């Protein structure tokens, strides 16, 4: 294993120190690195808090800042953060309007965020993301996995919070965005967790894992490597079938890299996904391409489709200033 690390025991803390130094104009670290939070809090605003296992950067810390999250709680690699991290984050960023947790549907995340919501002082609501159409259950989840669609929820709800939305309306909006969002991923290689020192799973040179999860969980099936056109057609087809009658009008098309896929290939996949989406009669109103919800060094990508309405478009377009997303400022 070749990694740019000092030791497997300090990889997360070392990374967080560097992250906060690089983006000190936007965010600061909480005590004992339990969370990172927005540097300049907006009084009277509902606080948005998310988090999860590390290894998916820039999710979630890279989305802390104006127009998105107020705090993010990083767990160890592919491991849920603990309730005390979330409680500390609430105490640091809740300015009196309550807090909204945005939680990916993984068993540890759900359990720990639920415990934190029960123990936190002040009003707390939760939006659960479960956009992955590949499989209903895995080692990590009960029900569908929360994957790249989480970014879409965080961006749209974050803009609504910045505009002054109350806790109830923000939860309703988050649930709506999640319900109108579907994703599916494909892996060409495994990822390597530093503590393990070897790939999480074996995959042949001529194989791919269709429907893989962001922790390297198995997908729908192991198949022979196909062309980008064929891969994109299968993924978008599964997404649109799952959306059913809701798949109409304008959509956001988001092609996300898993960490080791170059931009050239991601844009190529975007171009192929466009063909399938437009062939289904949909209009692509907004786009995003890049490595945003990763799986360490896994090669592959996911495709996300969100069916937009005017409110969602307005909040997607609203200004954002974070380490990983910046526009309109």
Q: What is the DSSP string of 88-138?
A: HHHHHH--SS-EEEEEES-HHHHHHHHHHHHHSSS-EEEEEE--B-S-S--
Q: Confirm whether 56 is a catalytic residue.
A: yes
- Active-site residue identified among 23, 60, 66, 215: 215
Q: Which pLDDT does position 218 carry in this prediction?
A: 82
The neighbour count for residue 167, using CB atoms within 10 Å, is 18
Judge if 103 and 137 occupy the same domain.
yes
Judge if 27 and 55 occupy the same domain.
yes
Q: Confirm whether 17 is a catalytic residue.
A: no
Quote the number of domains for the chain: 2
Q: Which pLDDT does position 139 carry in this prediction?
A: 67
180, 199, 228 - which closes a domain = 180
Q: Which pLDDT does position 216 carry in this prediction?
A: 86
Judge if 257 and 148 occupy the same domain.
no
- Kind plus residue range of the DSSP H or E element containing 14: helix 11-22
Judge if 66 and 137 occupy the same domain.
yes
Domain presence at residue 195: yes
Judge if 113 and 189 occupy the same domain.
no
Judge if 92 and 167 occupy the same domain.
yes
The model scores a pTM over 0.85: yes
Judge if 271 and 130 occupy the same domain.
no
Please tell me what DSSP assigns to residue 64: B
Q: Are 105 and 147 in contact (CB under 8 A)?
A: no
CA distance 323 to 4: 21
Judge if 166 and 199 occupy the same domain.
no
Judge if 161 and 261 occupy the same domain.
no
CA distance 104 to 203: 26
Judge if 15 and 67 occupy the same domain.
yes
Q: Which pLDDT does position 327 carry in this prediction?
A: 98
CA distance 51 to 58: 11
Backbone phi and psi for residue 163, each to the nearest 5 degrees, phi listed first: -80, -5
CA distance 130 to 108: 14
- Active-site residue identified among 23, 56, 60, 66: 56
CATH number at residue 208: 3.30.1180.20
Q: Which pLDDT does position 135 carry in this prediction?
A: 83
CATH number at residue 115: 3.40.50.10440
Residues of the chain with pLDDT under 50: none
Domain presence at residue 315: no
Report pLDDT digits (tens) over 251-268.
999 999 999 999 999 999
Domain presence at residue 314: no
Domain presence at residue 277: yes
CA distance 147 to 63: 15
The neighbour count for residue 295, using CB atoms within 10 Å, is 28
Domain residues for 225?
181-309
């Amino acid at each position: 294993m070749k990694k740019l690390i000092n030791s497997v025991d300090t990889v997360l803390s070392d990374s967080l120190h560097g992250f906060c130094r690089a983006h000190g104009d936007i965010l600061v670290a909480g005590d004992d690195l339990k969370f990172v939070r927005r540097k300049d809090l907006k009084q009277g605003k509902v606080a948005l808090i998310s988090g999860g296992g590390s290894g998916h950067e820039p999710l979630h810390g890279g989305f802390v800042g104006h127009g998105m999250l107020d705090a993010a709680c990083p767990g160890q690699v592919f491991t849920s953060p603990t309730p005390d991290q979330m409680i500390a984050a609430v105490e640091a960023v809740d300015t009196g309007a309550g807090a909204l947790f945005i939680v990916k549907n993984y068993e540890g995340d759900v359990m720990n965020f639920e415990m934190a919501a029960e123990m936190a002082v002040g009003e707390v609501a939760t939006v659960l993301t479960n956009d992955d159409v590949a499989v209903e259950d895995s080692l990590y989840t009960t029900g569908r996995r929360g994957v790249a669609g989480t970014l879409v929820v965080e961006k749209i709800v974050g803009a609504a919070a910045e505009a002054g939305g109350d806790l109830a309306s923000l939860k309703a909006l988050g649930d709506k965005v999640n319900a109108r969002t579907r994703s599916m991923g494909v892996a060409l290689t495994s990822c390597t967790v530093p503590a393990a020192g070897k790939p999480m799973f074996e995959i042949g040179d001529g194989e791919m894992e269709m429907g893989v999860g962001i922790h390297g969980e198995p997908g729908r099936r192991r198949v022979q490597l196909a062309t980008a056109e064929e891969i994109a057609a299968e993924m978008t087809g599964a997404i649109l079938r799952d959306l059913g009658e809701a798949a109409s009008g304008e959509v956001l098309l988001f092609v996300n890299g898993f960490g080791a896929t170059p931009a050239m290939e991601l844009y190529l996949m975007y171009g192929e996904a466009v063909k399938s989406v437009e062939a289904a009669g949909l209009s692509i109103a907004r786009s995003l391409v890049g490595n945003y919800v990763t799986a360490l060094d896994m090669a592959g990508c996911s495709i996300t489709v969100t069916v937009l309405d005017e409110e969602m478009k307005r909040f997607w377009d609203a200004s954002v200033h974070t380490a990983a997303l910046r526009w309109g400022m």
